[in-house]
Structure 1
Amino acid sequence: HRGRMINVPDRRRAVELINEAVEAGASKKKACSELEISSRTYRRWTQCGSVKADGRPDAERPAPANKLMPEERQQILKTCNEAAYRSLPPSQIVPALADEGIYIASESSF
């Protein structure tokens, strides 16, 4: 189940179960498979000698380089609310502006 977050106590229990299965003779890959995690996930969880917490919630996620500036966003909103465009979808607004030689942003930004 790709992408799900598993809390530290559940990770610790999973690691304990996998270790017990391996000590009893099971392969690590098979033991991991039974708990629906990959052996790579097991290695990542245990690589520093203890069970690691999920780092995704606290990961730094920088803004995309092409993020609209506040002024650009305001210009889009102003344009979309003009009488000539307020009833049109972006797929018609952007080409209509292009016909006038105006480019504010892409259709997806609108």
Structure 2
Amino acid sequence: MLATLENLGVVASFSRPRVSNDNPFAESLFRTCKYRPDYPRQAFGSVDEARAWTQRFVRWYNHEHKHSGLKFVTPTQRHSGLAPAVLAHREAVYAEAKARTPARWSGPTRDWSLADEVWLNPERIVPAELKQVA
């Protein structure tokens, strides 16, 4: 199987056994998938049915579902360059609301900035003094 994956250009990932959070992005996607109201409760009748459902899910996930990790914009908005305008508008709405009724706000408004990079398992930076102790 590994040879077939390599021939197809797929890089195998070896998560630790029984550790579901080795790939939190995949785990989050599976949870989102399973909690959809139209998630099938029984097996698909055919491969074509499974493909059709998956295509509808992917279309919804990318074009309609507002992701909390993306500050509630869709992946399509993020990748097409629309997210900065959407988030700037939200920031203006929040600022206006705070200016109109400052007593309702105990601190700053929500941070609508998006991270430029996201890492699954970022490298940990170990201070030099700790490296020497080990």
What TM-score results when the alignment is normalised by the length of structure 1?
Answer: 0.29
What TM-score results when the alignment is normalised by the length of structure 2?
Answer: 0.24
- Which structure features the higher share of helix residues? 2
- Relative CO higher for 1 or 2, CA cutoff 8 Å, sep ≥ 6? 1
**If you compute each CA radius of gyration, which structure gives the higher value, 1 or 2?**
1
